Structure 1
C-alpha cells in the first residue's frame, strides 16, 4: 500500500472524527438520538462485524455508555433547563452518574489490560492497570462534571495521564490487531488534538467517547473498510511491541508516585486542573 494512501486516508479520518466530536458536543439532542439509533446496526454486528469476546465486550461497553452519556447530558444541559422533569431526569443530575461514567472508563481500560495479559504484553498490561489506578475520582464532582450550555462531560485528567493513555492504547492495538493499528491511531490522535485545538484539555474524555464509539460502529458495520484504506499489518514487529510496552511502564511508574503525592498533600484540586482552582464542587444530593 503506497505511503500517500496512508497519509490521505488517516488525515481525512482524523479530520472527520474531530468534526463529529464538535457536532456531537454542540448538538446534544442529535447526539442522543444518533447513538440510540446506532443500535439498529446490531444485525450487521452479528453478521461478522464483531468477532470474539473482546470485541463484543468492547462495543457493548462503549455504545450503551455513550447512550447513557447522551441522556445525562440532556438532563444537565443549561440550555435545556426545565424541559426534562421527573424522577428519572432528576436522578441523572446526581453524583452517582459521574461514578458510573468513571466506572465505564475504568472498565474499558481494564478490558484491554486483561487482553494485553492474555497476549503476553505484560509490561503494557501493567501500564494499563496503573492507568486505572490513577483515574481521578469524581468525588464531590471535583474532577468530573456534567455542566454548561450543552451538559458537557468535563473530566480533569492531567496532560500526562492523557498522553500515557494514548501511548498505552496505541501499543495495545499494535499487538492486538495490527491491521487496524493505523485507524486506531487516528481516533487516538483526534481525541488528543481536539481539546488542544479548543484550548480545553478537560474535553479529552468526551472526545475519546465519541471518537471511539464512531470507530467501533464503522468497524462493526464495515469490517473491510479500514483494511482496504489503511491496512497496517505490515507495520507489526514483535520487538517494537515488547520495548514499547516496557517504555510505557517505565513512564507511568513515576507518574503514579506524583499522582499519589498530589492526592496525599491536597494539591490535586489545583494540579489536576492545571492551576485552576474550582470552588463550585457540589455535594451529591
Structure 2
C-alpha cells in the first residue's frame, strides 16, 4: 500500500511539473523568445545606453568575448524555466491565471521589448555570477559606479545618497532604497575584508541582528509602498516576510541568510508583484529577478544574490532618471495584474506563516500581531 501511495504522489508531482512547464512555455511563446541568439549590436547598445557598462574596463576585459560573440539564448531560457517551475509556484500560478483571464496578450511590440529584456538578462546573469564568486571584483564594480553617479549629482555615503537620490529622482522610495543599499554594500564589503571571525562572539551576534534588521527594513519600505498604493494582498505578503525572516545569518566568507525555500520563493513573487505596480524602468527591474543567478538560488544564498544585483540595478535606475531617460515600456493593465498577483501572494504568505507557526516558532510579538489583525485581517 505504501508503495502504491508513493507512486501516486510521484505521478502527481510529475503531472504538476508538466503543467508548470507548459504554462512557462506558453508565456515564452507569447513573447516569441525561443530560438534566438544574442545580437552583438543590441548587446553593445544595452551596455552603452541601458546599463552604462560600456566604459567599464572591468566589465569589458572580463566579458567582451562572451558579449560580442553570438550566443544561443535557449540555455538561459531553460534555466529561467527550471527555476520558475522548481522554486516559484506562486509565479507560475500567477502566469496561468493572467493568461487565462486575458491579462497577458501577444503583440509584436511586446516581442521586441522581450527581446531586449532577454539580452539584458544575459548580460546581468554573467556579471552577477562573477560578483557572487569574487567579492573583490564586485567591489571594483561598485567603485566604478560611484564617479559615474557623482557626475549626475548622486553622492556617495548613506545620508548624502539619500538626499541627492531624492533630488534626482523626486521619489522617496527610490532615494530610501539607494541609501539603504549603500549601507548594505558598505557593511558587506567591510565584513568581506575582515579575516578574523569568531562565531558566537558579541561582534558576531551584533552583526547577525544587524543583517536581519537591514533586510527587514528593505522589506518594510516596499510593504508600506504597497499599502499606500492600495495593494493590500501584496502588502500582507511583505509583512509576513518580516515575521518569518531568518533568525540566523552566517557572515563568514559570504552573507548567508538561512531562510527556507518557501520564504525565498515568497520573497521572489512578492518583489516581482511590487515592481510591476510601483517602479519605472521595468526593462531593468525584471531582469534583476528573472536571471538564474538570483531566481534559482537556494534559500540560504537567495538574499545574497539578490542584494548584489539590487545594488547595481538601483544605481542604474537613478542614472537613467538623472539622464531623463524614459521607461522603455509601460504596463497599461498593471493594476489588474497586481490585484491578481497580490491575492495569490497573500495565499502563499498565509501558508508560509502557518508552516512556521506549526513548527512552534514565535513569528509575531503582541505588537506586530495587533498590527497584523487590525491592518490585514479586518
Which TM bucket (shorter chain)? 0.7 to 0.9
Change (3 A) 1:92 1:197: farther
TM-score of the pair, normalised by structure 2: 0.57
For residues 77-122 of structure 1, what are the alpha-carbon distances to aligned partners after superposition, in whole Å with 9 as ceiling and x for unaligned?
Answer: xxxx47x9xxxxxx99623122211111100100001111111111
1:156 lines up with 2:254 in the alignment: no
1:207 lines up with 2:299 in the alignment: no
Whole-angstrom CA distance in 2 between matches of 1:182 and 1:160: 27
Contact 1:10 1:182 (8 Å CA) reproduced: yes
Counterpart for residue 102 of structure 1? 212
Distance apart, 1:235 and its partner CA: 4.4
Change (3 A) 1:196 1:114: closer
Alignment of 1:1-285 (within 5 A): 2-36=109-143, 38-40=145-147, 41-44=149-152, 45=154, 46=164, 49-75=168-194, 81=195, 94-138=204-248, 144-147=249-252, 151-177=253-279, 179-190=280-291, 193-194=292-293, 200-223=298-321, 227=326, 230-231=328-329, 233-264=330-361
Change (3 A) 1:12 1:227: farther
* Structure 1 residue matching 2:255: 3-state secondary structure: strand
Please tell me whether Structure 1 or Structure 2 has the larger radius of gyration of its CA atoms. Answer: 2
Whole-angstrom CA distance in 2 between matches of 1:13 and 1:184: 10
Contact 1:162 1:204 (8 Å CA) reproduced: yes
Change (3 A) 1:263 1:249: same
Contact 2:281 2:317 (8 Å CA) reproduced: no
Contact 2:256 2:300 (8 Å CA) reproduced: yes
Whole-angstrom CA distance in 2 between matches of 1:29 and 1:263: 41
For residues 40-97 of structure 1, what are the alpha-carbon distances to aligned partners after superposition, in whole Å with 9 as ceiling and x for unaligned?
Answer: 324524486432211110110112211211111121xxxxx47x9xxxxxx9962312
* Structure 1 residue matching 2:251: 3-state secondary structure: strand
Counterpart for residue 79 of structure 2? none
Contact 2:168 2:318 (8 Å CA) reproduced: yes
Higher RCO (Cα < 8 Å, 6 or more apart): 1
Change (3 A) 1:174 1:196: closer
Unaligned runs of 5+ in 2: 1-107, 155-163, 363-378
Contact 1:50 1:220 (8 Å CA) reproduced: yes
Whole-angstrom CA distance in 1 between matches of 2:205 and 2:128: 24
Counterpart for residue 105 of structure 2? none
Unaligned runs of 5+ in 1: 76-80, 85-90, 139-143, 266-285
Report the number of matched residues. 239
TM-score of the pair, normalised by structure 1: 0.74
Whole-angstrom CA distance in 1 between matches of 2:282 and 2:188: 27
